Amino acid sequence: MSFYKKNRTITISIINILMPRSLNMSGLLKAVFKKLIKKGRLEVVYPDKRREIYGDQNAKDSAAVEILTQETCLRLLVNPGLAFGEGYMDETIKPINCSIYDVLNVILQNDLAEGHYVEKIASVLRFGKRFWSQLNSLKTSQKNVAHHYDLNGALYSLFLDEDRQYSCAYFRTGNETLDEAQLAKKRHIAAKLKLDQPGLEVLDIGCGWGGMALFLAKEFDVHVTGITLSQEQLQAAKERAKKAGLEHKVCFELRDYRLVEKKFDRIVSVGMFEHVGVNYYVEFFKDINKILKPDGVMLLHSIGRSDGPGSTNPWINKYIFPGGYSPSLSEVFASVEKSGLWVTDCEILRLHYAKTLRLWHDRVKEEKEKIIQMYDERFYRMFDFYLSASELSFYYHNHMNFQLQISPSIDALPMTRDYMFEVEGKLDS
């Protein structure tokens, strides 16, 4: 029996002992929903088939959901952040004539911590134990990365763009296709790296399937070393470099950033910082300072939060990104300040990832049967919940993306941003 299952069984047993048998879990949960749902309209069907409607009866956003068991009601009372996603995966929570996206769209508009006293306490406890939950040692980091990124590569080819960019795209108008927006993202980042001379040595930390490294090598005639902790991604990246005839300009390695010793002219890291762990931020930037040349430039692209330090949702931590965390800018800047580095530019991408996730989700829904055949229906529901909740987090839970341009030198870069726009303009033409 896994630790989680054992822990859940013990928790439910204790509550069943302490609570009177006559106490109806549905009744307690009704009180929670009544306090929680202020925005939107949510209809809930309980295990006894009674229906309750919460929120604004005339709201534009509405949804209906059925909770099939008393145990699920109990778990929603004890640990809603984990239980709702698991209930949907296990089909003890079912949307009625709508999607899980519709249900979450109503729920997440509301303040879960304020409407659910247990969740408010749980969020405080999660924040307090961040030090332990994000102890990403060398061994743990590779295990955490493998959990998500070593899934069948065919899965990602079903919903990502042709270049397999598994991070926030860049939408200038909002009407771009996924492939157009991901290409724009690569160009936008390249412009900030100021790759102004051939032969520069570039390090790509968390290189994924190699798309960014191959793009920089081809478009700017630079030498790129890409590092990853995913065996699946490493193999795919090497094959892509060979197929593109860029093996002389790009190499990929299975390596943790903490083990890099060579100095580089440029460093790029896209969608990797979320896996560093809050305990390691200061050391991360100190390591960057050690391997970045004195006049070097780094571009860091990461999911962040605009409302200050927080903690990771327990369902996301268990099923999607173990040990992951989206930092606040205050946490990141405080760590950079202790490293001797300069933040030379900062850009906030507010809704770009919401748009990216929507396009991914549309493709996942189109490929539902293939994903079920590849894994099973429960896995599909997990991915459905993951993409739905993630997109809505950028609308309602103060998530965003940031790009930090970093350098050890105060004068390594021009006085204004004009050079960025000039490079992007040339790439677009």
Centroid of chain to Cα 275 = 9
Stretch 246-251: mean pLDDT, rounded?
Answer: 96
Higher per-residue pLDDT: 147 or 241: 241
Counting Cβ atoms within 10 Å, is residue 139 exposed (0-12), middle (13-18) or buried (19+)? exposed
Centroid of chain to Cα 403 = 15
Lowest-confidence segment of 13-22, 70-79, 316-325, 394-403 by average pLDDT: 13-22
Contacts of 190 (CB under 8 A, 6+ apart): 215, 216, 219, 220, 423, 427
- What is the spatial distance between Cα 207 and Cα 165, in angstroms, rounded to a whole number? 10
Stretch 135-149: mean pLDDT, rounded?
Answer: 61
pLDDT of residue 151: 72
Q: What is the CA radius of gyration of the chain?
A: 23
Q: State how beta strands 41-45 and 51-55 pair.
A: antiparallel
Residue 187, CA atoms < 13 Å, CB-side half-sphere: 18
Report the DSSP beta bridge partners of residue 302.
Answer: 402
Give the pLDDT band (50/70/90) at residue 127: low
pLDDT of residue 321: 86
- What is the spatial distance between Cα 252 and Cα 239, in angstroms, rounded to a whole number? 10
**Residue % of the chain over a pLDDT of 70:** 86
Lowest-confidence segment of 7-21, 170-184, 293-307 by average pLDDT: 7-21
Stretch 73-89: mean pLDDT, rounded?
Answer: 93
Stretch 56-70: mean pLDDT, rounded?
Answer: 95
Higher per-residue pLDDT: 10 or 391: 391
Cβ–Cβ contacts within 10 Å for residue 338, how many? 12
Q: Residue 227: in which H helix or E strand, if any?
A: strand 223-228
Report whether 68 contacts 94 (CB < 8 A). Answer: yes
- Residue 259: what are its φ and ψ, rounded to 5°? -105, 5
Q: Running DSSP on this structure, what letter comes out for residue 162?
A: T
Q: Is the pLDDT of residue 15 over 50?
A: no
Report helix, strand or coil for 151: coil
Q: Is the pLDDT of residue 112 over 90?
A: no
Q: 3-state SS of the chain: helix, strand, coil percent to 5?
A: 50, 15, 30
What is the per-residue burial (b if ≥16 Cβ within 10 Å, else e) of 171-196?
Answer: beeeebebebbbbbbbbbbbbbbbbe
Stretch 182-195: mean pLDDT, rounded?
Answer: 97
What is the per-residue burial (b if ≥16 Cβ within 10 Å, else e) of 301-322?
Answer: bbbbbeeeebbbbbbbbebbbb
Task: Return the C-alpha torsion angle 193, 395, 326, 35, nearest 10.
Answer: 170
Contacts of 32 (CB under 8 A, 6+ apart): 76, 77, 115, 116
Q: Is the pLDDT of residue 11 over 70?
A: no
- What is the spatial distance between Cα 209 and Cα 216, in angstroms, rounded to a whole number? 14
Stretch 17-36: mean pLDDT, rounded?
Answer: 71
Q: Is the pLDDT of residue 8 over 60?
A: no
Q: Is the pLDDT of residue 213 over 70?
A: yes
Stretch 55-60: mean pLDDT, rounded?
Answer: 92
pLDDT of residue 132: 60
Q: Running DSSP on this structure, what letter comes out for residue 24?
A: -
